[in-house]
Structure 1
Amino acid sequence: MTETRAPINPYMVLAFAVLMPGAGHVAIGQPQRGFGFAFFALLLALVSWHTTTPEQSFIGRSALGLFVWALSIPDAYRIARMNYEKWRRG
């Protein structure tokens, strides 16, 4: 009988994803996807930073990067939840 190791808890993945863009994907074993999200979050934050005026807030100046980061959070959680449920059901 072959036992597979339990995947990381989806709520831990969610916490990692909230703390840093791409960290949740790296935690579940998809580092290329995680680094892709982190790269585009940084790239688009820089683009929006340089295309806005200094009068804008930090949130406004980095809005595009924050948007990509926000997209990565549920994506990492969904993948982690699916892996966890697949493991739990055998």
Structure 2
Amino acid sequence: MHRPINPYLVLALAIVLPGMGHVAIGAPRRGLVFAFFTVFFGVFTYLFSSPDQSFIARHAGGIFIWALSIPDAYRRARLAYELAGRRES
């Protein structure tokens, strides 16, 4: 059995692209769900915010979901990494 991917690499992938950290740890469906809702809520807040808002404010819904996905991917990767380390010893 192979050793799971390093949690810090998963963290970097999750920061770069929503859902990519989950794909890297073998949970592509969960990653796709996070990516979908990131886009969905980003578009939703863009459509219902006023044009004088900043980029961050206009896409706050998507950014919020993306921010939730980052620690989730890291936590899952860390758990798998630690459990694999215990099984080896």
TM-score, normalised on structure 2? 0.97
Residue type matched to 2:34 in 1? F
- Structure 1 residue ranges without an equivalent (≥5): none
Aligned mates of 1:84, 1:11 — CA distance in 2: 11
TM-score, normalised on structure 1? 0.96
Counting matched residue pairs gives 87
Answering whether residue 75 of structure 2 is matched by residue 84 of structure 1, we say no
What RMSD, in angstroms, separates the aligned Cα atoms of the two structures?
A: 0.4
Q: How much has 1:12 moved relative to structure 2?
A: 0.2
Answering whether residue 31 of structure 2 is matched by residue 38 of structure 1, we say no
Residue pairs, 1:38-57, within 5 angstroms: 38-57=35-54
Percent identity between matched residues is 55
Q: How much has 1:6 moved relative to structure 2?
A: 0.7
- Alignment equivalent of 1:68, drawn from 65, 69, 73: 65
- Structure 2 residue ranges without an equivalent (≥5): none
After TM superposition, the runs of 4+ consecutive aligned structure 1 residues lying more than 3 A away are: none
- Alignment equivalent of 2:4, drawn from 7, 13, 23: 7
Q: Counterpart in 1 of 2:21?
A: 24
